[in-house]
Structure 1
């Protein structure tokens, strides 16, 4: 299940021969993506088979409810309902829409789940990319906007002010998946782990040898996989590490590159020089939404918003032929014990 369809942006540092007693790894490929979970468990802990079953159940539930790739998923059925009546939805969808509306408000409207028709128009949904006419963009923009989507959390329902509104949860569902897997691990008494799904992750506690978990952020270059920066995570209460980037999912036409990050105000891919944003937050779902929101805003306004919102964020942007970094003040403290 790859509800996000972005390239692997984070690389877990796993060195051959470094396994120690009490630390085990679970990995696999499932529904279009991969996962790696490293855990510290004692001999009396939950059997590995049960943990694997838990993880696969999370994937199944998320796929059935949140995937835009499945025609029979709950969100796909919601998108087909052209109505302005209240639509009862699962708690997962209510939660994600509520978070998205909050991030939308705090990001000057740049984070928007209703850009799905624009995503489809530019061909990113089915890898059939093209540059649409301005008239097509204008027509599609008429049916885009988070202000057209209401959520009633108390009664578990949402409502479209525009019946043609459609929702894409891809920019937030992977974070939710990581969060849910982490919850399952902790419910099994596992409190020292690194849970990575499709490059997005949450880490908590320490490795079996007492060392901190180490995570590498990839250099945002499309033709090579290199390490930009290594993070040594000391926050033992747990933190998510979420990265969004423009440098993998794009297409070129007439010598111009078009990113899959679409500005909901213009209906066009963003044109700034920001290549990737990494956000750390205790909640993977929130971190996932914010990494996309800040990437949409760009290298000028993004850091300003990160400071105003107290976010731990790392920005990597292009300045001529160079890659440069900018960190929020809270991000600079992440390596402190």
Structure 2
């Protein structure tokens, strides 16, 4: 018998499911506490976060917590694995596109023209001294860990909670899911572009399942809609072949790396996905669905 609790945080739906109802309350408290620590370390929308302080001191090495070291380290690995498609130095470009505050506030304000695209400094120029816990970014650069920090949190929470409480756990934070432990039956997941939309049912017993899309976190501008997924090659919101990508991988971070890369750079990321062999479900601008590398055959259209 499983039990689940849902709430809203980070402008997205958070859901924790466990197969031991007796531990649900305590497990939810731990997940909320972890998310609060990650927010204080890596939020782009908090002036007092460590990430905001590092960005404000671009050009200098800044002492940071071990948590932010881990989060930045994960983002740099994702950048390497994706060939730069998932680049944590797109922060200035995201702001130039209009995503300068929480998405709800961005969508409420009067449409403004996007600023000129910002050059991407490139993840290779980030300085991270893991031993001394020092972090530095180039001048005129801003880090944005949104592509990986949420997935890292799902991974971390699922593994820790499953081990601590001796039960199967499913953590969902927005479009990033991670299953840990040994459920009696695999979790049944609805994969859809947007919450509440029709989708396809898949089962998840272990690993990560993520969906990246340019159809949700988007806002109106005088020149059309903009969104939060930046193509590092142009510094602009991505306009590639696929509007949505769902990927399974052994971890949520790994899945998110590929799902983000596919939407951000389109065909350029396909070769790396093929080599990795991770199952994926892609939706193009016309709504046509492509399923790759063993994604379970589906009969319900997205």
Q: CA deviation at 1:176?
A: 1.6
Q: CA deviation at 1:201?
A: 1.4
* Aligned-CA RMSD value: 2.6
* Partners of 2:144 and 2:178 in 1: CA distance: 23
292 and 116 in structure 1: CA distance in 2 versus 1, 3 angstrom threshold: same
* Partners of 1:261 and 1:30 in 2: CA distance: 20
Which residue in 2 is equivalent to 1:29? 8
Match of residue 40, structure 2, among 53, 59, 64: 64
Tell me, which stretches of 5 or more residues in structure 2 are unaligned?
Answer: 298-302
Larger helix proportion of the pair: 2
Structure 1 segment 181-260 matched on structure 2, within 5 A:
181-205=157-181, 207=183, 210-218=184-192, 220=193, 225-233=196-204, 235=205, 238-253=206-221, 256-260=224-228
Which residue in 2 is equivalent to 1:113? 88
Structure 1 segment 78-89 matched on structure 2, within 5 A:
78-84=54-60, 86-89=61-64
TM-score for the superposition, normalised by structure 2: 0.84
Structure 1 segment 288-307 matched on structure 2, within 5 A:
288-298=256-266, 300-307=267-274
Would the aligned equivalents of 2:89 and 2:141 in 1 still touch at CA under 8 Å? yes
Match of residue 152, structure 1, among 102, 115, 129: 129
Find the residue that maps to 1:99 and give its secondary structure: helix
Q: CA-to-partner distance for each residue in 1:293-313, whole Å, 9 max, x for gaps? A: 222111x23322201233333
Would the aligned equivalents of 1:40 and 1:193 in 2 still touch at CA under 8 Å? yes
Larger Rg: 1
Find the residue that maps to 2:142 and give its secondary structure: coil
Q: CA deviation at 1:167?
A: 0.6
Q: CA deviation at 1:330?
A: 5.0
* Partners of 1:251 and 1:48 in 2: CA distance: 36
Would the aligned equivalents of 1:316 and 1:325 in 2 still touch at CA under 8 Å? yes
* Partners of 1:53 and 1:269 in 2: CA distance: 36
82 and 193 in structure 1: CA distance in 2 versus 1, 3 angstrom threshold: closer
Tell me, which stretches of 5 or more residues in structure 1 are unaligned?
Answer: 1-19
* Partners of 1:293 and 1:322 in 2: CA distance: 19
* Partners of 1:95 and 1:132 in 2: CA distance: 32
2:280 corresponds to 1:326: no
**Segment drifting more, 302-311 vs 248-257:** 248-257
* Partners of 1:308 and 1:76 in 2: CA distance: 36
Match of residue 65, structure 2, among 90, 102, 109: 90
Would the aligned equivalents of 1:206 and 1:213 in 2 still touch at CA under 8 Å? no
56 and 248 in structure 1: CA distance in 2 versus 1, 3 angstrom threshold: closer
Length, aligned pairs only:
290
Would the aligned equivalents of 2:47 and 2:53 in 1 still touch at CA under 8 Å? yes
TM-score for the superposition, normalised by structure 1: 0.76
Which residue in 2 is equivalent to 1:3? none
Q: CA-to-partner distance for each residue in 1:254-300, whole Å, 9 max, x for gaps? A: 664433221122122222231111122222223223321222111x2
Would the aligned equivalents of 1:259 and 1:269 in 2 still touch at CA under 8 Å? yes
* Partners of 1:55 and 1:83 in 2: CA distance: 34
Find the residue that maps to 1:188 and give its secondary structure: helix
